[in-house]
Each structure stands twice: as structure tokens, then as C-alpha cells.
Amino acid sequence: MLMVANWKMNMDRAAISNYLDVLSREERWSRWCSNGYRLVLSPPSVYLDFLACEIRKRELPFWVVGQNVCAHEKGAYTGEVSVDMLRDLGVSGVILGHSERRRLFGETDAHVAAKTALALSRELVPIVCFGETEAERLSKEHAQVWERQIAPVWKEVLKARAAGSETPVYWAYEPVWAIGTGRTAAIDDIREVAGSLREIFGHDCSAGLLYGGSVTDESLAVLVEKGTVYGFLVGGAFLDSEAVLRAFDNLTHHP
């Protein structure tokens, strides 16, 4: 199970050190890891290097992923970060198509597909976000929205697979109405997503479905369902390292 902390545009070096100091006091990380529970941290890009170094220094078994990457390989793209730069820093993967990037920075389904292709070509694990707005859910268009967002990305995944890529891909269902609102999807909603993905992909994707949207260490308990969801993308709640510890403690005791 993957627990991805999306720090968004928060934290600084002092806060990161403090966060890792708190997590380092926990002695069960390697046991949790060997039982399949992995913490993944996603800092702002300027702190990827610092975070990766601090994790190595403390010998913690966490993965580091980016929050975004450029859809182009290299060149005149002022302000962007490339897949090779992420690789160079020892980053394992990258969150793609987060609704904040789509809504605030004009990212399209085509951009997300191009970024996924590039990430796979460099063995960077893509965590592809998708999800409907409240209006789309109310008008019962949500399943079409998922398909529209996922289909072009899936095409690229198939091309990469045909070219020999074995890099895993995670699909993060993040309904826009649940992000930062305190409202979480119900387990039935997540089961519906799993069913839709099965139709789009033509096979079961339970090994790759994550859920995100107002997850807390408490709400986790009702959302965990083995065989339906493989992990979670957590924003606000995981800015607090104590909440991360509580979440892992709860999860690993879950039947």
C-alpha cells in the first residue's frame, strides 16, 4: 500500500528536517515496508534534492516523487523541470495531472499523456490524477470525465508497454469536490471507479488505484478496502508528521 504525502506548495528546509526527525523516532518503518506499506513524500521541486539527501542520511525507506514535470525533454522552457533532472536527483516518480495543475495552470489531458510517456521512457513512476468536479458528478457525467482523462494516458502506457517498459503506473482518483474540502468519497464511489477502470483497461487495476481527497488518519479507516484501493494521496493532513505516524499505525493494524 502506497501512502503519498503531497505537500503541494508548503514546507521549507527547517520544516522538512523537523518532519523527518519526528518520523525517524519511529522504529517500525522497515517492518511496515516489508509488510507492503510505503511512505512516499512529494515536496515542491526546489526541495526534492534536499529531501532525498536527508532521507538517505537518516536511512529511512521512503520514496520521493515530484509534483509535476515538463512535457518536453529539454531546452528553452523557462521555469520547467525535466524528467532527466528528476532522475538525476534520485526521484522515483512524479504526480501528473493533479486537478490544481489542470484548473490553475491549464494542463490538458494531452499534456498529462505526453508527460506520462516521457516519465515511462525514463523509468519514473507516474501517479496519474483524475477526477470529476462537483457539477460533473451532479449531472452524472463523472464516468465519462474519468474516461476522457484516462484514455489518452492509457494509450501512452500501452505504447510504452509494447516498447518494453515495466515501470508501474498508479491511477489516483481525486474528485475535485473532495480535495481540501473535508468531504471524502465513499467506498462505493471508489468501487465505481475501480469498475470503470476495469472497463477502460480491459483488466483489473486494483494493484494501481489510489484515492485522494480530504483523507486523514481517521477517515482512512473507512476507505481502506483490500482489493479495491492500493493506496492514498494525502494533502493537508500529511503536512503533519504525527498524522503520518497515526495513519501508519492505524493502517497496519487494519484487518
Which residue, 172, 193, 190, is CA-closest to 235?
A: 172
Q: Of the candidates 32, 107, 235, 251, which one interacts with ligand PGA according to CB under 6 A?
A: 235
Select which of 54, 98, 107, 136 is catalytic.
98
Q: Which residue in the block uniquely carries the three cell numbers 525514463?
A: 122
Minimum CB separation of residue 166 from ligand PGA in Å reads 26
Nearer to ligand PGA, 95 or 153 (CB): 95
SS (H, E, C) 111-130: HHHHHHHHHHHCCCEEEEEE
- Other CB atoms within 10 Å distance of the CB of residue 23: 20
Nearer to ligand PGA, 91 or 160 (CB): 91
Q: How many residues contact ligand PGA, by CB under 6 A?
A: 13
Provide the grid cell at 41: 513524500
Q: Of the candidates 91, 193, 234, 244, which one interacts with ligand PGA according to CB under 6 A?
A: 234
Within positions 162 to 221, which residues make up the interface with ligand PGA, using CB under 6 A?
174, 179-180, 212-215
Residue 98 is among the residues annotated as catalytic for this protein: yes
Nearer to ligand PGA, 84 or 240 (CB): 240
Q: How far is CA 162 from CA 32, 71, 86, in A?
A: 34, 21, 24
Torsion angle (degrees, nearest 10) of CA 158, 162, 163, 169: 40
Residue 93 contacts ligand PGA per CB under 6 A: no
Cα distance between the two ends of the chain: 14
Judge contact between 81 and 45, C-beta under 8 A.
yes
Nearer to ligand PGA, 66 or 212 (CB): 212
Q: Of the candidates 120, 197, 233, 247, which one interacts with ligand PGA according to CB under 6 A?
A: 233
**Burial class of residue 36 in the structure, from the number of CB atoms within 10 Å of its CB (0-12 exposed, 13-18 middle, 19+ buried):** exposed
Nearer to ligand PGA, 48 or 215 (CB): 215
Provide the grid cell at 193: 471507479
Minimum CB separation of residue 98 from ligand PGA in Å reads 6
Residue 6 contacts ligand PGA per CB under 6 A: yes
Q: Which residues are catalytic?
A: 98, 174
Write out the residues near ligand PGA by the rule CB under 6 A: 6, 174, 179-180, 212-215, 233-237
